[in-house]
Structure 1
Amino acid sequence: MEYESDFHVEPGPRVLWAGMDGVLLRFALTPEPEAMVATQLLAADLERSPPAGTVEIAPGLVSVLLRFDPVTTRRDVLAREISARAAHILQGPLDRPAPARRWTIPVAFGDADGPQLAEVAQAVGCGPDAAIQQICEADLRVLVIGFAPGQPYIGLLPEAWDLPRQSELTPTVPAGAIVVAVRQIVMFGAASATGWRQVGRSAFRSFRPERDTPMPLRAGDAIRFVPVPASEIEALDKADDGLGGARLEVLR
């Protein structure tokens, strides 16, 4: 394991300096499944026992950022500790940690709520109903929160779902849109342009500043989508809490 002040493009775990008060442990340059699992394990380990002086732990898809208090620790000390923990994790086994929480979220698939479902199903090699079944039966987790407040990247879908992004942007998809690409799902909290393909829509809003918990999802949460009629999503859209009928179970 190396730690350096400059960015390198070679594959493999590295510790990199991040601004004046940050250290970034990067397992890979691309979202490989093993690197994502290692990232989740490292983030969980750091949350259980934060290194002295840590003020923030922010996991990404294949990296973990630690911000620290320069008054109470040094960057090189933190770099050595996070390197040692990452090296231990890479010795294996690289098994995903069991989720502490699980969300069950209603989704309307296809038709106006998922205009590209048939296209996606054809690319995956099945019919629309089978594609919906694969989404709803997949062992999905929130991989990372990013791009917009509270917005989840959810995965991983089966290998056949390793679909490229579109060559051109869709100018806008509605709030709650369920879009797919590269074995992942994004659930938009607000209307947005996207290069991913829309297969469904929920009434779940991942960010509402007026809620007691503005961003209810956390990295590592399990996600289970349940197909419902479009009319049910329309009704759930009217609820004040913005949770769209989602149900949260605390598993441990």
Structure 2
Amino acid sequence: MTDYPRIKTVGLSGVLITFGEKMGEAANRATLAFRAAIDAEDWPEVRESTMSLVSVFLLVDLVETPAEAVIERTGDLLASRDWYAAPLPLGRTLWHVPTVYGTDLAPQLEEAAQVAGVDPDEAVRQISGSRVRVLTIGFAPGQPYLGELPEVWNIPRQQALTKSVPAGALVIAIKQLVLFTGATPTGWRHIGQTAFENFRPAAEKPFALNPGDELIFPAISAAELATIRAKDSSGDGGATREVLA
């Protein structure tokens, strides 16, 4: 981490603070903590903050506000603590999202297990027992990237493209899970199926999940998922939640 964090301007639209060359727990933790601190500072020149896996972007009009001033102020905040060891933001939510693994609802579980070198039952045990963090949200509205999983799940994307997986699909690659918010093509393997809707455009809060939230995907049967779909119109897909201190 000796070369990080880094600050650079992005044209005249703002500054980008990067905490690592690639995804890692410490870099993502720093990103989450620093973004929360920026939002708490409520600097008037920062119109919006957004984040990726390992970086924070501050939307600032660099015509109106000199870049040097923003960089200096940002640098002072960066120097104020060790962001890689900073606590995660308060008020996050832990979700338990019921999930069907395998079957015709999630047909690539066995393939993913084979690539990882475990049998399908062990794959379900490991994945359903993992507690993963919302690392960032992107690619499609409300779509969360979740991780990280144990090293055995550092499997590559498939070479062919699956034409479409449905909303609520749980897919896997490179030690991460993605929970799809709509029917979408993907190169990640479809291993689980939920009824969870993270993108709720008609709701006051259109995204149920926030970066830093955590999820567990306990295994259920296809019949149980059908019951959830018939009875739950909230979008939670039978999920329960608790606030993390």
Shared fold, TM over 0.5:
yes
2:238 counterpart (223, 230, 245): 245
Q: Report the equivalent of 1:164.
A: 156
2:6 counterpart (1, 6, 14): 14
1:126 counterpart (118, 123, 134): 118
2:100 partner letter = A
CA-based RMSD of the aligned residues comes to: 2.4
Question: 1:34, 1:251 → 2: CA distance?
Answer: 19
Count of residue pairs the alignment pairs up: 243
List gaps (5 residues or longer) in structure 1. Answer: 2-10
1:107 partner letter = T
Moved more, 91-100 or 18-27: 91-100
Note the C-alpha offset of 1:169: 0.8
CA contact (8 A) 2:14 2:61 kept: no
1:225 counterpart (217, 240, 243): 217
Shift in CA distance, 113/45, structure 1 to aligned 2, threshold 3 Å: same
1:163-242 matched pairs, under 5 angstroms: 163-238=155-230, 239-242=232-235
Identity %: 39
Note the C-alpha offset of 1:59: 1.4
Shift in CA distance, 98/113, structure 1 to aligned 2, threshold 3 Å: farther
Question: 1:187, 1:13 → 2: CA distance?
Answer: 29
Note the C-alpha offset of 1:38: 2.0
Q: Secondary structure at the match of 2:217?
A: strand
CA contact (8 A) 1:140 1:154 kept: yes
Q: Report the equivalent of 2:27.
A: 35
TM-score normalised per structure 2: 0.89
Note the C-alpha offset of 1:13: 3.1
Note the C-alpha offset of 1:35: 2.0
2:209 partner letter = L
CA contact (8 A) 2:109 2:120 kept: yes
CA contact (8 A) 2:14 2:57 kept: yes
Q: Report the equivalent of 1:111.
A: 103
The one-character-per-residue Cα deviations of 1:138-159 (angstroms, maximum 9, x if unpaired) are 2311000101111100111011
Runs of 4+ in 1 over 6 A off after TM superposition: none
Q: Secondary structure at the match of 2:77?
A: helix
TM-score normalised per structure 1: 0.86
CA contact (8 A) 1:154 1:184 kept: yes
Question: 2:227, 2:45 → 1: CA distance?
Answer: 48
Note the C-alpha offset of 1:187: 0.5
Q: Report the equivalent of 1:4.
A: none
